[in-house]
Structure 1
Amino acid sequence: MAQSDNVSEYRRLNQANWDDRAPLHAASPEYAVDRFRTDRSFLSDVIRFDLPRLGDIRGLDGVHLQCHIGTDTISLARLGVTITGLDFSPASLKQARALAERTGTAIEFVQSEVYDAVKVLGAERFDLVFTGIGALCWLPDVQRWADTVAALLRPGGRLFIREGHPMLWSIDETRTDRLTIGYAYFETPEPMVFAEETTYVAADHTLTETTTHQWNHGLGEIVGAVLGAGLTLTGLEEHDSVPWDALPGRMIRGNDGEYRLETHREQLPLSYTLQARKP
């Protein structure tokens, strides 16, 4: 199969999977869609965790890459960012636009693959590029992602990403007796292929589009890509928590909505926050 065919196949399969997930996530208590509608000050758990590191972002022009159903995007808007949401899943954007309309939030949502973001949004347009949890694993080339981020940012603009740690992504989640490496830590040319009928939140239905293609990217590869894109690293922090039950049977949920290992939390980083600026 030619490379272009491979690219088309991973996008087709992954988009179909996220189209399938979107209505399930919008109906799930974990995404708290009803709370967004009834409480105009409510923020997602993800953004609440990010607040101490985000700082004052009022008045910035921002873009949220891989925004999904828009709960984090709306949270950023509530913090004073003029925000654009971008995602490749039309079903996800349908839910995002509906939520924005019901909450009276002015957000432009654009359907696009991440790598096409500069073409559809424009170069050097944003003060802030935000990428949230569970995004980079869907992209085959982390350097191309970093180059896209750099091109979207104005001089002086800022990248903020909190993401699942590549060490977490490498752990075999089916093993509950010990932490066992089951998947690649470094970026590989070929994807890891998964077939799963369930999503990462409680849902009334199973998925029909079950096959996905995913990639891991080592922390050094991610940092190297950001530096290689001409950005200046301003912060890197590893965390012992993640906002979903990533290792079922081994984690407990805290009052902050974050999941942590029930024992020996010092053994495994679960997420990280990386920040950088464009000179």
Structure 2
Amino acid sequence: MHARPAPSDDWPEPEDSGDLDTFRYGQDTIREIEVSGAGDVTGRTLLHLRCRSGLDTLSWARHGARHVVGLDSSEAAVEAARELAADLGLGPDRAAFVTAPLYDAAQAVPDPAYDIVHTGAGTLSRLPDLRRWAETAASLVAPGGILHLTEFHPLTGVLDDETGARIVRDHFARDRYEHEQGPDVHPDFDTQAIRHPLGEVVTAVAATGLRVDLLREHDITRFRRFGSLEPRSPSPRRPAGPIRVPLLYTLRATRV
């Protein structure tokens, strides 16, 4: 077995850098905020909506999930996830991946319900219909299970792109901004980013009948969104100082 390398400030983000060797050698992509938000996943089933190339999905398996399923609308991403799972010795009984639009997840995934349904950062900003996302995700949560969400804080969308220190956009305007286009283009996603206020997200989840148990804001993020962030890995953050703003948030809701 490969020894797990010690984390360092210049550790690359595997999914963004394309350097999967760090992941294969044991450096997973789940942060402490996600672990604390989802709770102990040992022995539980987990569905990851918009899994991309499967790094976070397989990281949940490393954290003890009994069976993980990743869904993504990109066939190339799903094939990459399957290959990586095979490289790690995780068969379909531990990790399965499905190609389908996110809104069609209930008809595409192998099981009717999961202990944990997870959506990672960067997903909601590409989905124009929050109500439909919430209903789809909630329908797949088993009794006693949870919906777990990590997402970029909507405040980051109103700050200036250079420093992230000045408010330059209207928080209440439903404006959109173009995403950088690349090979990871998803047909069920809008081509522009949408800033969904926290209230809209919580309301959409609560309307499904799930009980919202947790909503936390964090001063770390998934990548160096603003030049003023300290380039720590795996979680860039603001330098110590008198003013900080939330960069990520986590939400957990339970089917009672």
Per-residue CA deviation, residues 75-95 of structure 1 (Å, 9 max, x unaligned), is 011122210000111121122
Report what 1:71 is aligned to: 55
**Aligned match for 1:196, one of 171, 177, 180:** 180
Q: CA deviation at 1:111?
A: 0.8
Per-residue CA deviation, residues 12-33 of structure 1 (Å, 9 max, x unaligned), is xxxxxxxxxxxxx86754x651
How far apart are the structure 2 equivalents of 1:147 and 1:177? 33
Q: CA deviation at 1:241?
A: 0.9
Distance 1:49 1:33, change over 3 A: farther
**Aligned match for 1:93, one of 67, 75, 78:** 78
1:62-211 correspondence runs (5 A): 62-81=46-65, 82-106=67-91, 107-121=95-109, 124-173=112-161, 175-176=162-163, 178-182=165-169, 185=171, 188=174, 192-194=176-178, 196=180
Distance 1:265 1:177, change over 3 A: same
Per-residue CA deviation, residues 77-128 of structure 1 (Å, 9 max, x unaligned), is 1122210000111121122111111111231111111111112126741110
Q: CA deviation at 1:154?
A: 1.3
The TM-score with structure 1 as length reference comes to 0.75
- Maintained 8 Å contact 1:140/1:187: no
Partner letter of residue 57 of structure 1?
V
- Maintained 8 Å contact 1:158/1:278: yes
Percent sequence identity over aligned pairs: 33
- Maintained 8 Å contact 2:146/2:252: yes
How far apart are the structure 2 equivalents of 1:185 and 1:123? 39
Partner letter of residue 176 of structure 1?
T
**Aligned match for 1:259, one of 236, 243, 252:** 236
SS of residue matched to 2:237: strand
**Aligned match for 2:45, one of 37, 43, 61:** 61
How far apart are the structure 2 equivalents of 1:208 and 1:108? 20
- Maintained 8 Å contact 1:128/1:159: yes
- Maintained 8 Å contact 2:177/2:194: no
SS of residue matched to 1:129: strand
Per-residue CA deviation, residues 182-237 of structure 1 (Å, 9 max, x unaligned), is 3x64584xx7251636x7xxxxxxx798x932211100000001101111011111
Structure 1 gaps of 5+ residues are 1-24, 200-206
Q: CA deviation at 1:177?
A: 7.9
Partner letter of residue 234 of structure 2?
G
Per-residue CA deviation, residues 127-160 of structure 1 (Å, 9 max, x unaligned), is 1001111111110011111111110111111011
1:230 aligns with 2:229: no
Partner letter of residue 102 of structure 1?
D
**Aligned match for 2:225, one of 224, 246, 252:** 246
Which structure: greater helix fraction? Answer: 1
How far apart are the structure 1 equivalents of 2:252 and 2:206? 11
Report what 1:13 is aligned to: none
Report what 1:275 is aligned to: 252
Partner letter of residue 261 of structure 1?
R
The TM-score with structure 2 as length reference comes to 0.82
SS of residue matched to 1:84: strand
Report what 2:191 is aligned to: 212
SS of residue matched to 1:260: coil
Superposed CA RMSD: 2.7
